[in-house]
Structure 1
Amino acid sequence: MTGEVALSLGASGHSCADPRHLNLPAGPRMRFPAGWALIEHPVQGAILFDCGYGPRARDAMRAGLRWIYRRAIHACSSLHTDAATLLHQRGLTGDDVRMVVVSHFHPDHIGGLAQFAKARFVAHAQAWRHISESGWLGLLHAQIWKELLPEDFAARLQLLDDNGRRALDGDLATLGEGWDLFGDGSLHVIGLPGHARGQIGLALRTRAGERVLLAADAFWRREQLDRQQELPWLTQRVAMDDAGAYRETLRRLARFRDTHPGAWVIPSHCAETLALWRQRHPGAVLEALD
């Protein structure tokens, strides 16, 4: 059917954190895959939603403040887990990727961008403005590493702003407004503010007829949609651009899930959701075991 796409999930690297940082019950450190998605569009070709860690992120994390980041969250990234490497499982090279939709500019989402030399990039104008106008201290606090961006990133960048945003309809209506990326109803970009300035998600329908919302870091673990508890103070300070917007985004996504029982709401870092997708869709996960 028109507007439907093939979807595969990928994981390029991972980090670990104490569950109490998310106000979840105490226990062993949780593993958080650096998730991304491959969308195969019948007309537009191969599209990525984020790309996980990659070579430039590994290089950056070898010294200085980036090394402290790696040690603090136990970040791990290996060559055989890079998105560009895993795409070979679909017979694709980095040059085959036509577009990368950047949910936000944290290193575990943009670390592999330089491997996609022919792709256009899509991001929210507010996110790019924040990068362009911030000094080094502001970028440090926002966890944005500009050295991960390709040198010609700005020349290949398409920005989404208020001019193109429209009210969503059909089963996406409760999510408010968004952008019809190609004008064919196949991919709708959704604003998901809170965690990062200008964070966006992506709504699509698979060839199997499933509604999917790729939710980036609107939340991290699927049980957060059920609990909807206040995050600890330190997590809010370190991992939130706007705590109030985060809570509202979480409520909006929970309403969407509750009113669309068959829909998938997929955060970028939930290992359990990735396992469920693998179980339901054998062969539709691109990842390497390390």
Structure 2
Amino acid sequence: MITPRLQFHWLKAGHCNHPECVAMRGGRWQSVMFPALCGLLIHPTRGNILFDTGYSNHFLQATQPFPERLYRWTTPMTLAPEEVLTQQLAQLGIQSTDINYVVISHVHGDHIAGLRDFPYAKLIISRVEYDSASSMSRLGGLMHGFLSALLPPDFAERVIFVEDSVSLNLPAELAALGTGFDIFGDRSLIAIPLPGHSKGQIGVSFKRHDDRRIFLVADACWSMGALKNNQLPTWFASRIFSNVRQYQQSFLGLRKVSTIADGAVLLPSHCQQSWEYLNGGQQT
């Protein structure tokens, strides 16, 4: 069987600002921009797939009441009109109703704020992540970056759990991370557990038409510089993590993957370098 290759657009749906020294040890006190990046993948038979949704105006609505407003104050969000994800998709000739799947890396607000804009999409998530979110109280969710108001009301009817897919050994360039899940059964899109930042965070791996492997790693690291220089987040930042030890293990696995010559291109979801690598979100 020939593994399908995917078209890929790397899109920026807003950003937040935060001191760099909080996100990684040894960082500057200067406030820096953390883009909210998400992927549009186009499968030859499965159609249009999103990896996360970044920010949307739903985030502003969800953080209007107190105590949820604390989320907005802690990580001030900016979303320019031209960065609204549905507008960017429309420029590519894709309507919100044309999105067939949304892969949810994890349920933090800056990754799921646009879910309500895609009413016909199947929602692919780790069962561990889903169960964790379902068990959180309003305050508990806020403490871990989760806003239940961002979830579509029919979320449970549209969900697909990655654990129900076939488990497989990862290709050589990703082998340090163990096993993954073959989402569509054709090895075109592999979900890879990256726990620690949240209980059931996943990344996804696929190949482009030029045979280069792309690995979207979500928040398993916040920047390529931090990964290269082994700069873990500070104690303060790690307070929102579900498990600091698991985060460190996932981070170490990514460091091993990143050292393989001609290996996968690792793209964190909040890394300006990751954004610029693909020339501002152009098709690859």
Scaled by the length of structure 2, what TM-score is found?
0.93
Q: Whole-Å Cα distance in 2 between the matches of residues 30 and 269 of structure 1? A: 11
* Residue-by-residue CA offset, 1:231-283 (whole Å, 9 max, x unaligned): 3221111x31111111110110111111143421000000121012117xx73
Give the match for residue 270 of structure 2: 269
The Cα of 1:62 is off from its aligned counterpart by 3.0
Q: Could you tell me how far apart the structure 1 residues matched to 2:29 and 2:245 are?
A: 27
SS in structure 2 of the partner of residue 47 of structure 1: strand
Deviations 1:113-158 (A, max 9, x none): 0110110000000011112222223222222111101111110001
Matched residues in 2 for 1:162 and 1:284: separation?
A: 31
Distance in 2, Cα, partners of 1:136 & 1:12: 25
Aligned-residue offset at 1:202: 0.3
Quote how far apart the aligned CAs of 1:2 are: 3.7
| TM-score, L = length of structure 1 | 0.91
Residue 17 of structure 1 corresponds to 18
In the TM superposition, 1:119-268 aligns within 5 A as: 119-161=121-163, 164-237=166-239, 239-268=240-269
- Asked if the contact 2:40/2:48 (under 8 Å) is kept, the reply is yes
Residues of 1 paired with 2:70 and 2:143: CA distance? 14
Mark the CA change 1:154 to 1:78 in structure 2 (over 3 Å): closer, same or farther: farther
Question: After the TM superposition, which of the residue ranges 222-231 and 183-192 deviates more from structure 2?
Answer: 222-231
Cα offset for 1:218? 0.5
Separation (CA, whole Å) in 2 of partners of 1:154 and 1:252? 32
Secondary structure at 1:204 match in 2: strand
Q: CA RMSD in A?
A: 1.8
Tell me what 1:59 maps to. 61
Matched, 1:92 2:101: no
Q: How much does 1:163 deviate?
A: 7.3
Corresponding letter in the other structure for 1:254: R
Q: Secondary structure at the match of 2:6?
A: strand
Q: Sort the Cα spacing of 1:249 and 1:210 in 2 relative to 1 into closer, same or farther, 3 A.
A: same
Identity, % of aligned pairs? Answer: 30
Quickly say closer, same or farther: Cα 1:132–1:27, change in 2 above 3 A.
closer
Alpha-carbon deviation of 1:13?
1.1
What residue is the counterpart of 2:282 in the other structure?
A: 283
What is the distance in 1 between the residues matched to 2:92 and 2:3? 22
The alpha carbon displacement at 1:173 in A equals 2.5
- The aligned runs of 1:65-80 (5 Å cut-off) are 65-80=67-82
Q: Which residue of 2 aligns with 1:30?
A: 32
Deviation at 1:100, TM superposition (A): 0.1
In structure 1, C-alpha distance between the alignment counterparts of 2:254 and 2:103, rounded to whole Å: 20
Greater shift in the superposed pair: 78-87 or 91-100 = 78-87
1:35-78 Cα deviation digits (max 9, x unpaired): 10000111101000000111311212334223222122121234
8 A contact 1:58–1:77 mirrored in 2: no
Match of residue 288 from structure 1: none
Any idea what SS the aligned residue of 1:261 has?
coil
**Letter matched to residue 65 of structure 1:** P
Counterpart residue type for residue 52 of structure 1: G
Asked whether the 8 Å contact 2:102–2:121 carries over to 1, the reply is yes
Per-residue CA deviation, residues 175-205 of structure 1 (Å, 9 max, x unaligned), is 2111011111110000000111100000010
Higher fraction of helix: 1
- Which of 99, 102, 105 pairs up with 2:107? 105
Equivalents in 2 of 1:80, 1:212: separation in Å?
26
For the Cα contact (< 8 Å) 2:68–2:142, is it kept in 1? no
Is contact 2:195–2:250 with CA below 8 Å preserved after alignment?
A: yes
Structure 1 unaligned regions, length at least 5: 286-290
